[in-house]
Amino acid sequence: MNPLRIGNFSGFYGDRFDALREMLTGGELDVLTGDYLAELTMLILARDRLKDPGAGYARTFLRQLEGALGLVQERGVRIVTNAGGLNPAGLAAHLGELVDRLGIPLRVAHVEGDDLTAGHPGALAAHAYLGGFGIAACLRAGADIVVTGRVTDAALATGPAAAHFGWGPGEFDKLAGAVVAGHVLECGTQATGGNYAFFQEGDVRRPGFPLAEIHADGSSVITKHPGTGGFVDIGTVTAQLLYETGGARYAGPDVTARLDSVRLRQDGPDRVRIEGVKGEAPPPTLKVGLNRLGGFRNEVVFVLTGLGIDAKADLVKEQLAAEMAKSPPAEVRWELVRTDRPDAGTEETASALLRLVVRDPDQKVVGRALSGAAIELALASYPGFHVLAPPGKGDPYGIFEDAYVPQGEVPHTAVLPDGRPVRVPPPPETRPLAEAPPAGLPAPLEHGATRRAPLGLVAGARSGDKGGNANVGVWARTDEAWRWLAHELTVDRFRELIPESRELPVTRHPLPGLRALNFVVTGILGAGVASRHRFDPQAKALGEWLRSRHLDIPEALL
């Protein structure tokens, strides 16, 4: 049987608008997927729905598709997307109106049942992460366009693969292979050189979007359309495999994929083959993402220039502490960022930034703390007083939390093109999630001369967020570098290199088949991206910071 060619045209809500048309015209495809949902996106859509109960979906998808519906029909490509967000039925209805208005006979179906908000008082949105068999049911019923709400990102690939190859719920190795391929595709151009540690090895000014050739046994080849920008190699695929993952067992609603079984090999220019993936029965519960309002947040950034930076910072802190004591916010956080340098040639490089963030359930408290008190210091504080921007009244911020419910309690439903709802049963076999057995490590590299140098000279990294936690995947590019990295980059060494992790739980997961270590730092992002807990609220650059840190590296590797 020929492989199923699944492409991606969106990795987030706001991705390249023209990518849908580019993928349709750039080469052969069977299915085109669009991933619009992230933890923060669900909160944004929930706030949209507060203003308009008919909203809650990714509006840009409608505009993207309107200009490409003729191509979709002409090319015979099926579209599968989670752009339905909080309102997949609403988006499906608008799509039905669109195809009727344009006179293009495409059949629309949708998947629902993920919305559990009614059972979680106080949440703006509570949605279970569904698997791919609802999508498969829609495609088997003849749908040309399938819209979902909150499904796992990989379900956009596992659903079409299960429908095409006739896989059943118990074919775990095949499903796991599709999960891994789907995980590589889900973030769009991150698989083709975007956001890649070694980006200078190819032309990534406008990377093409990726596609996977999935085979009947679950193996796949990751590639891209001919002539598009970017590049696909073992490194770009490894980086994306490590993105927002944890241990060797990567759990999903349909299958738990064993990341420690993945094998990659270069299969030609811009072609990486993924094989050997093993799967296990999925957990008995589904993850539910809960988004709620945490309160109000306000911030101001003071610019401190020239001499006496620390003394200037101490002065403004004392002045504001006295003012804020009259109506103290629930949380006050100061950060001094020393961007200044001695004898600087520009005023900007002579300046440091002092950032103050306050949070409180009451908007008036955070407004008074900064809008009044901070600005009243303008003529009464340190020399050279100014701020990057005047503070406002305070903005609401969100909190993301995980919950878990039994799979059978979630009404996973495929609404077929003729409008018939079909209940998708939970998997017949489940297995509680447990840590994988310890991975065997290679023999340490022989001792020799070392040189103090950045880790990034011998290792790549990619980092991301999962709720309040961050992961940092680090991989070696050669077997010799892996022998050194596996023994050098311990949890203690990681904490030494990333000081803000020292008081937090840090877990290391070796993945020898990928020559990689995956670190999970629990709690480093506070209550999740929407709470804007730290300078880099999604930990996107945490891996690059780690790569810039210096340690003693064997000269043989340099």
In whole angstroms, give the CA distance from residue 272 to residue 211: 11
SS3 467: coil
In whole angstroms, give the CA distance from residue 7 to residue 224: 8
CB atoms within 10 A of CB 109: 29
**Residue 512 resides in a domain:** yes
Q: What angle do CA 394, 400, 404 make, to 5 degrees?
A: 160
272-275 and 263-266 beta bridge pairing:
antiparallel
Same domain, residue pair 96 and 172: yes
Strand partners, 5: 213
> DSSP code of 207?
B
**Residue 236 resides in a domain:** yes
Backbone angles phi, psi at 261, to 5 degrees: -100, -10
Q: What angle do CA 250, 416, 75 make, to 5 degrees?
A: 80
Same domain, residue pair 256 and 315: no
Same domain, residue pair 386 and 407: no
Same domain, residue pair 80 and 223: yes
Same domain, residue pair 168 and 124: yes
**Residue 371 resides in a domain:** yes
In whole angstroms, give the CA distance from residue 147 to residue 156: 10
**Residue 334 resides in a domain:** yes
CB atoms within 10 A of CB 122: 9
CA 325 to chain centre: 39
**Residue 430 resides in a domain:** no
> DSSP code of 496?
H
pLDDT of residue 390: 86
Q: What is the pTM of this model?
A: 0.94
Give the closest residue to 146 by CA, choosing from 220, 68, 89.
89
Same domain, residue pair 263 and 331: no
What is the residue type of 501?
S
Same domain, residue pair 276 and 305: no
Tell me which of 393, 415, 435 is where a domain ends. 393
Same domain, residue pair 256 and 318: no
pLDDT of residue 533: 78
469-476 and 459-466 beta bridge pairing:
antiparallel
Same domain, residue pair 59 and 76: yes
> DSSP code of 200?
G
In whole angstroms, give the CA distance from residue 241 to residue 174: 17
Strand partners, 108: 145
**Residue 434 resides in a domain:** no
**Residue 20 resides in a domain:** yes
DSSP character string of 61-102:
HHHHHHTTHHHHHHHT-EEEE-TTTT-HHHHHHHHHHHHHHH
Integer angstrom CA distances of residue 380 from 209, 377, 386: 54, 5, 11
- Three-class SS of 331-352: EEEEEEECCCCCCCCCCHHHEE
SS3 131: coil
Integer angstrom CA distances of residue 25 from 15, 32, 70, 74, 228: 18, 12, 12, 11, 12
CB of 30 closer than 8 Å to CB of 4: yes
**Ranges of H-type helices in 190-329:** 234-242, 309-324
In whole angstroms, give the CA distance from residue 433 to residue 285: 10
Same domain, residue pair 223 and 325: no
In whole angstroms, give the CA distance from residue 386 to residue 379: 10
DSSP character string of 366-391:
HHIIIIITTGGGTTSSSTT-EESS--
Domain count, the chain: 3
Give the closest residue to 145 by CA, choosing from 498, 530, 417.
417
pLDDT of residue 531: 74
Longest dimension (CA), the chain: 77
CB of 450 closer than 8 Å to CB of 553: yes
Same domain, residue pair 303 and 239: no
What domain range is 485 assigned to? 450-557
Same domain, residue pair 31 and 149: yes
Integer angstrom CA distances of residue 362 from 258, 292, 298, 369, 476: 46, 15, 11, 11, 48
**Residue 445 resides in a domain:** no
CB of 154 closer than 8 Å to CB of 175: no
pLDDT tens, N- to C-terminus, the chain (558 residues): 899 999 999 999 999 999 999 999 999 999 999 999 988 899 899 989 989 999 999 999 999 999 899 999 999 999 999 999 999 999 999 999 999 999 999 999 999 999 999 999 999 999 999 999 999 999 999 999 999 999 999 999 999 999 999 999 999 999 999 999 999 999 999 999 999 999 999 999 999 999 999 999 999 999 999 999 999 999 999 999 999 999 999 999 999 999 999 999 999 999 999 999 999 999 999 999 999 988 999 999 999 999 999 999 999 999 999 888 888 999 999 999 999 999 999 999 999 999 999 999 999 999 887 877 888 899 999 999 999 988 888 888 888 999 999 999 999 999 999 999 999 999 999 999 998 898 899 999 998 999 999 999 999 999 999 888 999 999 999 999 999 999 999 999 999 999 999 999 999 999 999 999 999 999 998 877 777 777 888 999 999 999 999 999 999 999
| Terminal CA-CA length for the chain | 46
